[in-house]
Amino acid sequence: MKTIHVHGLELGRLDAEQLLDLLPALANRGVEPTLAVLISPDRTRMAGELFSELRCREIECHALEYSWDLDPRLTTGLHRILEKVSPDIVHVEGATGELHGTPAARLKNLPVVASRNGSSTASLSRLAGRGLTAVTPLITRIITASPGLSDEMAHSGQASREQLASVAPGVAPSSTGRERRGSLRNRWNLRPDDQVILSAGEFRRDQDHSVLLEAAARLRERAATPNRTRLILAGDGPERDSLREQIDGLALRGEAWILQDDSCYRDMVSAADVVAVVPSDHPPVRAVLLAMQAAMPVVTTQLEPLSDLVADGVTGVHVPARNPAMIAAAFSRVLEDPMLGAEMGRMGRHRQESYFSFERHLDQLTESYSRCIAACRSAAGT
């Protein structure tokens, strides 16, 4: 089976780490994966690092740069790549990847699998503006991270019920863990008694890092003793400068900061006491799974599929999106009771290993590929 993965790298480093896990694992199962990345000029360094590592593992890689994500030359460029690679199936991910990879694949009569981690009903107008609703009927199978998300997407009209299927997400087993905690905390100039809230990912408005800063300010107001809570925002993106201004405006300097660290997220999460993933849209599933794998309690929004991954009150705490008071209360609940936080972390790791293992993810993903290829060939009479 030959696959080509067309990806927009729109969530940054977390996406790159997932591809580094996924593509070599597929190759180990006898699949021949190829990667085609659509990148804006500010992503070329990340793509270069990703390609270097994948090529060392004998994964073929292609890149198409763009300055406008609706540029039709991306579709024609992808069509040429498909001519060269001759895959059996095309897997598209990210809005840009889906928008251009889908028509390029259908021009070759190839089946298309699209990964959608979820976007709120309110974002449908933006998707329509970018042409995604036009290409959706061309997609063979849309895979989601939970049955609840599939139901939500069908109900909101983002896809037909027949197109949707859930594939359990997963992350590769980790050989690193708590042993990195001390070295990272020293590097970040943290004291042993500092309580660390970590949120990592792309700094975009729909990831709501600004709401976390407001929650941190509320935590400081509630503190009965000198505040030792530290909020670390690890990543980069278009909202970085405005977040720095907000830190100054809330007088949080020294208590909250933006960290640009080349460590992978799997390592960084080991230095935390609680992990925060509170987007109002486009949830970063990998960030939650890595926190669970590292036995960290997770505070997350009631957004599918995050609410399915994190069991409220068991492996973490669900909070309403864009509600700093409720988010601050959830942080207090976990940080003020270390035994509760440790138990939530332990249960989270058990839940990840039981329901969201990497092997289960690979089993379900390759089965979805095989079914789509068989259906396409049957319809074509081959």
Question: Does 278 share its domain with 335?
Answer: yes
**If you ran DSSP here, which 8-state letter would residue 171 be given?**
B
> Please, what is the angle between helix 44-56 and helix 13-28, to 10°?
20
What pLDDT is stored for residue 119 in this prediction? 54
**Is residue 194 located within the same domain as residue 290?**
yes
Place of tokens 């859930």: 166
Q: 171 and 360 in contact (C-beta within 8 Å)?
A: no
Let me know: does 5 contact 30? Beta carbons within 8 Å.
no
- Nearest alpha carbon to residue 233 among 266, 215, 264, 256: 256
- In this prediction, residues 185-212 reach a mean pLDDT of 89
- Is pTM beyond 0.75? Reply is yes
Q: What is the pLDDT of residues 121-132, one digit of tens each?
A: 444 445 455 556
Inter-residue contact 281 to 190 (CB < 8 Å): no
Q: What is the pLDDT of residue 136?
A: 84
Say how many domains are in the chain: 2
Number of C-beta neighbours around residue 375 at 10 A: 13
Where is mean pLDDT largest: 178-182, 227-231, 262-266?
227-231
Alpha-helical (H) ranges within the chain are: 13-28, 44-56, 73-85, 95-107, 124-129, 132-135, 147-156, 181-187, 209-222, 240-249, 265-268, 285-293, 306-309, 324-335, 338-355, 358-380
Q: Are residues 146 and 210 in the same domain?
A: no
Asked whether residue 370 falls in the same domain as residue 347, the answer is no
- Which secondary-structure segment (H or E) carries 157? none
d(CA 137, CA 94): 16
370 and 266 share one domain: no
Given a cut of 50, whether residue 365 has pLDDT beyond it is yes
Instruction: Answer yes or no: do 139 and 184 share one domain.
Output: no
| pLDDT score for 131 | 57
Q: How many residues appear in the chain?
A: 382
- Does 290 share its domain with 248? yes
Instruction: Indicate if 150 and 191 belong to the same structural domain.
Output: no
| pLDDT tens by residue, 44-76 | 877 888 999 999 999 999 999 888 878 899 999
Compute the mean pLDDT over every residue in the chain, rounded to the nearest whole number: 88
Largest CA distance in the chain: 73
Same-domain pairing of 30 and 163: yes
Residue 113 pLDDT level (bands cut at 50, 70, 90): very high
Copy the structure tokens of residue 128: 């329509």
Most confident of 232-236, 256-260, 332-336: 332-336
56 and 151 housed in the same domain: yes
**b/e map 120-134, b = 16+ CB within 10 Å:** beebeeebeeebbee
The pLDDT of residue 124 is: 43
What is the pLDDT at residue 6? 96
Q: Is there a contact between 305 and 144 (Cβ–Cβ < 8 Å)?
A: yes
Asked if residues 310 and 344 have their Cβ atoms less than 8 Å apart, the reply is no
Indicate the pLDDT class of residue 184, thresholds 50, 70 and 90. confident
pLDDT at 123: 43
Q: pLDDT at position 157, please? A: 82
Whole-number Å distance between alpha carbons of 326 and 323: 6
Residues 351 and 372 in one domain: no
CATH of the domain at 18: 3.40.50.2000
Please tell me the distance from the alpha carbon of residue 296 to that of residue 77, in angstroms, as a whole number. Answer: 43
* Interval 150-177: pLDDT, tens: 898 888 887 889 999 999 999 998 765 5
Say if residues 35 and 61 touch (Cβ distance below 8 Å): yes
The residue among 93, 297, 122 whose CA lies nearest residue 206 is 122
| Residue 214 pLDDT greater than 70, yes or no | yes
* Mean pLDDT of all residues in 353-359: 96
Peptide bond into 305 cis (omega under 30): yes
- Helices and strands of the chain, counted as H and E runs: 16, 13
Q: Other C-beta atoms within 10 Å of 102: how many?
A: 27
Question: How far apart are the C-alpha atoms of 2 and 82, rounded to whole Å?
Answer: 11
- Best-predicted range by mean pLDDT among 43-47, 93-97, 217-221, 332-336? 332-336
Whether pLDDT at 226 is above 50 = yes
Other C-beta atoms closer than 10 Å to the C-beta of 257 total 17
Rounded percentage of the chain residues whose pLDDT exceeds 70:
91
pLDDT in tens, 277-326: 988 777 889 999 999 999 999 999 988 889 999 999 999 999 998 999 99
Identify the pLDDT of residue 122. Answer: 41
Domain carrying residue 133? 2-170+357-380
pLDDT in the model for residue 227: 67
Same domain, yes or no, for 363 and 341?
no
Report yes or no: 240 and 230 within 8 Å, Cβ to Cβ.
Answer: no
Residue 91 contacts residue 113 (beta carbons within 8 Å): yes
